[in-house]
Amino acid sequence: MMTVRRAFLLLVAPLFLLLAGVNGALLFLWERAEAARQLDNQALAAAVTVAAFASGADDLAATLRDPRRDAAFREAAARVEGLDGLYIAAAGGASEQIAGRRHGQGPGAYSEPARPTVLPIRADASGRRLATALAPMGQGRFVIAQIDAGKLDAQVATLRAIVAGLLVGAGVLGFGLAWIIAGRIARELAANNAMIAAIRGDRVGPSAGDLAIRETRDLANAVRLMKTSVDSRLARGDRELALSDRRRDEAGAAAAFHETALPPLAVETAGVSVAVRFLGRIAPGSFYALCEAGGRAGLVLGTCEGASPTDALALGLAARAFLERHLLDGDPTARVEEARQAFSVVRLAWTEWSAARPPPVLTLALLAEGLGARAEAYARRGAGLSPEAVADDLAALLDADGVLAVLKPSDVVLSPSGQRGHG
């Protein structure tokens, strides 16, 4: 598995080596080219100077027999550093050495140049590397100047050693810096992990102020901030839960259970679409009961009264269960009256229909006086809307408490696509 220390060692050290290698190579190439250029210029200057000195003399050997001229020429030749040989080449190809080391080897075969020329550095028959320059004298004669390139080779070797040392030094420096920095970051991250573990275990961990790297200190502060936020949220939840527990009473518990036991209703039965909604504050004993049997259906809305909210809720649920099973057993009116007497129903509205004779648009409502008529008028004007849509609209428009049911024959209810459906 990759670690911070290993990642730094694999990235930083090679980067240092690459930078040092590129800089060292550029330095080596530039220095070598500069040294070779100086050597060529030195050979060219010697060739041009001797050509100018000897071009006016038909017999150079006779000219050099003059002691003063010979002494001056030899002094000038001695000042040419690394001079290997100066030669006068005749038109026939023969050459005469006039200065330099006497090693018994000729300068080689060259053609008369049209202008002073520097030739590439190359080795002679003995393996010595020489820089050669040619300068014309006229009448087919020209000067050959050769400079020993051993000094250049020594400089190149020195440069090569310097570049190798730079590479080694850069590698060691990069490795050392990567090791130190990676270790520092690893220690800071370990301190962060220890802090997170301490927070998880509700212990006192390291302080963020002990961290030296700003990013790891920010990370530690962020972790502590998240922990503080989570603790605050949990504490707030505990307080809200405790407050709700203190506020919870029998009526609240009954209302909460009523919402679960009697959710909003939307169903189609016996050719009629039915929607039932509880509006506003719900009385604990409010209920609805839908019964279907043999192509017939009946819907009852009611409110039961009890000694306590829980008693009223229990009576309402019992009345609902009774009516859903027995409303259509015999005479529905008799069954409704039985439920009224048995379950203390104080408010009640009901209807029945069959698939062969569905009712028109109809609303059942246990609402304040006058609101039922308004609800039915709205339902009739929106005859093409589904009962669910009408019931939801009325729940938003009417500021009322109670129970509301909307019934419409299925063949007058618009489908979701907007076309009139046919039941």
59-68 confidence digits (pLDDT tens): 565 555 566 6
Residue type at position 160: R
Give Cα 65 distance to the centre of its chain: 88
Based on the fold, state whether residues 241 and 92 are members of the same structural domain. Answer: no
Structural domain contains residue 163: no
Within 10 angstroms of residue 254's Cβ, the number of other Cβ atoms is 22
Nearest partner of 42 among 152, 156, 153, 158, judged by Cα: 152
Q: Model confidence at 47, in pLDDT bands (50, 70, 90)? A: confident
> Of 247, 264, 297, which one is at a domain's C-terminal end?
247
- Interior CA angle at 92 toward 124 and 52, to 5°? 80
Q: Does residue 390 lie in a domain region?
A: yes
Same domain? 16 vs 141: yes
CA–CA distance, 324 with 171 (Å, rounded to integer):
89
Of 190, 222, 247, which marks where a domain is finished? Answer: 247
Kindly tell me the number of DSSP H helices and DSSP E strands found in the chain.
Answer: 10, 12
* Residue numbers of the domain that contains 220: 207-247
CA 120/CA 276 separation, integer angstroms: 107
Domain count, the chain: 3
- The torsion of the CA quartet 192, 196, 199, 203, rounded to 10 degrees, works out to -60
- Express each pLDDT in 160-208 by its tens digit: 788 788 778 877 887 787 788 777 777 777 777 777 777 676 666 566 5
What pLDDT, on the 0 to 100 scale, is given for residue 327?
A: 93
- Is 357 contained in some domain? yes
> Considering the entire predicted model, what is its pTM?
0.43
* pLDDT value for 171: 78
Q: Identify the CA nearest to 177 among candidates 20, 355, 368, 390.
A: 20
Nearest alpha carbon to residue 406 among 423, 387, 421, 389 = 387
Helix, strand, coil shares, percent, the chain, to 5: 50, 20, 25
138-167 tens-digit pLDDT = 777 788 888 877 776 777 778 778 878 877
> Could you tell me the CATH number of the domain that includes residue 331?
3.60.40.10
- Describe the crossing of helices 332-342 and 309-326 by its angle, rounded to 10 degrees: 160
Distance CA 404, CA 410 (A): 19
Within a domain: residue 225?
yes
Q: What would the mean pLDDT of 319-348 be, rounded to a whole number?
A: 94
Residue-level pLDDT at 419 = 40
Strands 402-409 and 362-366: antiparallel
| 264 within domain boundaries | yes
* 86 burial via Cβ count (<10 Å: 0-12, 13-18, 19+): buried
Indicate the DSSP class of residue 80: S
Residues 336 and 230 in one domain: no
User: Is 201 part of a structural domain of the chain?
Assistant: no
| pLDDT for residue 389 is more than 60 | yes
Neighbouring residues of 46: CB distance < 8 A, sequence distance ≥ 6 = 77, 80, 83, 86, 133, 145, 147
Instruction: Dig out the tokens for 11 from the structure.
Output: 């990235």
Confidence at residue 303, expressed as pLDDT on a 0 to 100 scale:
95
Taking 70 as the threshold, does the pLDDT of residue 56 lie above it? no
Integer Cα distance of 85 and 62 in angstroms: 20
211 and 281 fall within a common domain: no
368 within some domain: yes
Burial of 38 (0-12, 13-18, 19+ CB in 10 A): middle
Chain length of the chain: 423
The residue-averaged pLDDT of 308-320 equals 93
pLDDT band at 334 (very low <50, low <70, confident <90, very high): very high
Q: What's the whole-number mean pLDDT along residues 243-251?
A: 68
List the CATH number of the domain containing 149. 3.30.450
Tokens of 343: 């379950």
> 182 is written with which tokens?
């990676």
pLDDT value at 390 more than 80:
yes
* CA atoms of 243 and 249, how far apart (whole Å): 12
User: Are both 224 and 257 inside the same structural domain?
Assistant: no
Question: Exposed, middle or buried, 120 (CB in 10 Å: 0-12/13-18/19+)?
Answer: exposed
**Euclidean distance between CA atoms 252 and 362, whole angstroms:** 33
**Would you give the distance in Å from CA 64 to the centre of its chain?**
85
Clarify whether residues 351 and 291 are in a common domain: yes
Note whether 283 and 221 are same-domain residues.
no
In a domain, 237, yes or no: yes
> Is there a single domain that holds both residue 39 and residue 140?
yes
- Both 265 and 403 in one domain: the answer is yes
Q: Counting Cβ atoms within 10 Å, is residue 313 exposed (0-12), middle (13-18) or buried (19+)?
A: buried
Contact between 8 and 154 (Cβ < 8 Å): no
DSSP β-ladder status, 345-354 and 83-89 = unpaired
Residues 288 and 333 in one domain: yes
302 in the same domain as 282: yes
Query: Do both 279 and 323 map to the same domain?
Result: yes
